[in-house]
Structure 1
């Protein structure tokens, strides 16, 4: 091989190596270094990333900080992330740092210094009932008019996932509202206000007079949803969080926009064990009797459902509340999950196998594996209904269970608790 070819191959190998290293570095930074760190004010925090990177403060307003036990002026804060470093910031606020490698700027990191937050981890099964915002369109279909012909009045007008908010300038809050308007319809176009992709739109549909002299628009609609989930936590002001993921419609697989909802007491009657390829589930009943309402659901987003418990719920116990463990404090290794599968709320052993610290996990921030023999015997792992079960590590509430692996019921995903707090 002559020298030119040899050099060419060296250049090609070097370029491949450089690309591979760049990809590895980018991936490592993305998964290991969050864009936003939360630190507790006045508390020494240990950072142990073991990466050949440095962080430098960009904000001169950071007046009081200690690095490895020594006070350091803001213009001299320089963190070596290749070594274990302790940080103590004594003033609340948002501060900005530059992440660098060999002097090259890689990305900006925001550090939020906040008061210590304590939450009461629950693990309590609850009945969930929600009402949609307006009525939800599941799909469109054909109807037979009074002459015996088939028609599809809503085709190309309404879409699966639309919410009908108004019909003929009248608010729609239930299926009965829409039915009542159609019962009194006298023909012609009907103006509908729909919520589509979070934007309000006006559309027109022509209801069809059917064989029995009723008017129909040819749409399948739904107004509510219900099921069983697990309460994750409640704070000192009775605000709760549950599930760790949004409630989606079973037919459209889209997140349901809600007008409100209620939590009810629930009793677990039996467990259908999970099997590879077939998720298990908790089977229970929901007590809708008067006086059994536990709380009001106010929000349904990708990080869970949120609201306020009834004043007499009495679920918050200051002596049992735990501090929040932020993402940089979460470690691979042993943890516990709190849930109720046999009528008693208790903690079960799990193993955190991997972490997505970069923050793009979308309620899949960690992978957990059930290791507790009692829970494995009862459920074979994670089952539907356990979503929201709080995850505890080193005496802190760090997350909640969100999903089960379909092909391995002993494993599943969890969300960082700090993401649920940002609802």
Structure 2
């Protein structure tokens, strides 16, 4: 009985010891490095990427087709052995997909890596403020909004003149209407002269001209047509970068949504236009600040067309660059996700007028666990005193401002 009990205790002690050894292994820096070893890696043609394995193992490497260099040496399909503690350098001269298998003694599989090699890509950083128009022109009538006259009567001038929800207001007094603010300002000007206005609308493919007598709304202190309107302007954002040859651009950094609906907006007729930052409204607790921008939607200020509306921003093609404000950086390589790291960086954006300025920021966190593209993969902290004093930090309208780190 004593021998059996002693043997059971010994086996229990050995089991505890093995558990502690395994726990120590899993908590070791080498194991954490091994656990973070990528299963998919994207690199540019000709660039060298250093990869850490983390464990003290002699690994054999097999690649499914020639073209990959490991530690500067290129062979056939067998690339020999590497020291897992020291890591290794990967490079490929030609674009394509390569599958690398790592094993012990060439027999026991340890890891598999898909290396995707893509052509090198250089882009020009932006930082310029742009206006986003979902429609090239016109103001959509969503409904009627009664106004209260100085005498206390509730009237709806637009409805009484025959304007109905769904009409697109495209002109007033013979001139095109670009956006809601344009229409409201001109209604005020005409009403001051005491004359009705001729409103041009499109409805079911037809163009109608309706005569409207604006009313004075004592609640707002201005003249109105009594209409609930929405124009094609989706606001002010920032140009991220563009390709100098194809002129393909990206901007904004997030999807454009329908006002009040939360769903992605239809940008099939979308345009980007010149915009000027008039002032910065600083944020306070619970209320984010914003750039107060002025859009210039006239025909001569169109900068380009929008082709796609994605979770990472809008993509399109430039017709011309914004006038009078070039970004302070020349073209540079685009950074891949794994090339971004915590540390100092620069942000390009506009705080006044059209001048692109460079501000210091710090990347404080990069989501290393992220395996799929995400618009929120990094966390920034503003360190530039000038930016903090003028805006209080990141504000609405800075979305899409390019971040430059390490020449990328």
TM-score per shorter chain, which class?
0.5 to 0.7
Instruction: Provide the residue aligned with 1:412 in structure 2.
Output: none
Return the alpha-carbon distance in structure 1 between the equivalents of residues 14 and 264 of structure 2. 52
Which residue, 94, 97, 106 being the options, matches 2:97?
94
Q: SS where residue 127 of structure 2 aligns? A: strand
Alignment of 1:367 with 2:379, yes or no, is yes
Alignment of 1:176 with 2:185, yes or no, is no
Return the alpha-carbon distance in structure 1 between the equivalents of residues 102 and 362 of structure 2. 30
Q: What displacement does 1:327 show?
A: 2.4
Instruction: Provide the residue aligned with 2:349 in structure 1.
Output: 339
Instruction: Provide the residue aligned with 1:128 in structure 2.
Output: 132
Alignment of 1:83 with 2:86, yes or no, is yes
Return the alpha-carbon distance in structure 1 between the equivalents of residues 348 and 44 of structure 2. 25
After superposition, residues 22-421 of structure 1 pair within 5 angstroms as 32-43=36-47, 45-49=48-52, 51-52=54-55, 59-63=63-67, 65-76=68-79, 82-98=85-101, 108-131=112-135, 175-176=166-167, 180=203, 224-236=232-244, 237-311=246-320, 320-343=330-353, 344-357=355-368, 358-360=370-372, 362-396=374-408
Return the alpha-carbon distance in structure 2 between the equivalents of residues 333 and 356 of structure 1. 14
Q: SS where residue 384 of structure 1 aligns? A: coil
Q: Is the 8 A contact 1:175 1:221 kept in 2?
A: no
1:394-423 Cα distance to aligned partner (Å, 9 max, x none):
111xxxxxxxxxxxxxxxxxxxxxxxxxxx
Return the alpha-carbon distance in structure 1 between the equivalents of residues 352 and 35 of structure 2. 37
Could you say if the C-alpha distance between residues 9 and 271 of structure 1 is closer, same or farther in structure 2, counting changes exceeding 3 Å? farther
Q: SS where residue 175 of structure 1 aligns? A: coil
Could you say if the C-alpha distance between residues 226 and 24 of structure 1 is closer, same or farther in structure 2, counting changes exceeding 3 Å? farther
Structure 1 length normalisation: TM-score?
A: 0.62
Could you say if the C-alpha distance between residues 53 and 373 of structure 1 is closer, same or farther in structure 2, counting changes exceeding 3 Å? farther
Q: What displacement does 1:294 show?
A: 0.7
Instruction: Provide the residue aligned with 1:143 in structure 2.
Output: none
Q: What displacement does 1:111 show?
A: 1.5
Return the alpha-carbon distance in structure 2 between the equivalents of residues 360 and 53 of structure 1. 30
RMSD: 4.4
Q: What displacement does 1:366 show?
A: 1.4
Q: Is the 8 A contact 2:349 2:401 kept in 1?
A: yes
1:227-254 Cα distance to aligned partner (Å, 9 max, x none):
1110000102111001222112342323
Q: Which runs of 5+ in 2 are unaligned?
A: 143-164, 169-201, 207-227
Q: What displacement does 1:324 show?
A: 1.5
Q: What displacement does 1:48 show?
A: 4.8
Q: What displacement does 1:304 show?
A: 1.1
1:83-108 Cα distance to aligned partner (Å, 9 max, x none):
34322322221112346799975764
1:9-45 Cα distance to aligned partner (Å, 9 max, x none):
99699779969987999x96899555532222223x1
Q: Which runs of 5+ in 1 are unaligned?
A: 139-173, 184-219, 397-423
Q: What displacement does 1:301 show?
A: 0.8
Considering only CA atoms, is the larger Rg found in Structure 1 or Structure 2? 2
Return the alpha-carbon distance in structure 2 between the equivalents of residues 70 and 224 of structure 1. 57
More strand as a share of residues: 1
Q: What displacement does 1:116 show?
A: 1.7
Return the alpha-carbon distance in structure 2 between the equivalents of residues 263 and 61 of structure 1. 45
Return the alpha-carbon distance in structure 2 between the equivalents of residues 53 and 361 of structure 1. 32
Q: What displacement does 1:122 show?
A: 0.8
Q: What displacement does 1:325 show?
A: 2.1
Q: Is the 8 A contact 1:274 1:380 kept in 2?
A: yes
Return the alpha-carbon distance in structure 2 between the equivalents of residues 222 and 7 of structure 1. 76
Q: What displacement does 1:392 show?
A: 0.8
Return the alpha-carbon distance in structure 2 between the equivalents of residues 260 and 77 of structure 1. 55
Return the alpha-carbon distance in structure 1 between the equivalents of residues 269 and 35 of structure 2. 36
Return the alpha-carbon distance in structure 1 between the equivalents of residues 361 and 78 of structure 2. 43
Q: SS where residue 95 of structure 1 aligns? A: strand
Structure 2 length normalisation: TM-score?
A: 0.64
Could you say if the C-alpha distance between residues 180 and 113 of structure 1 is closer, same or farther in structure 2, counting changes exceeding 3 Å? same
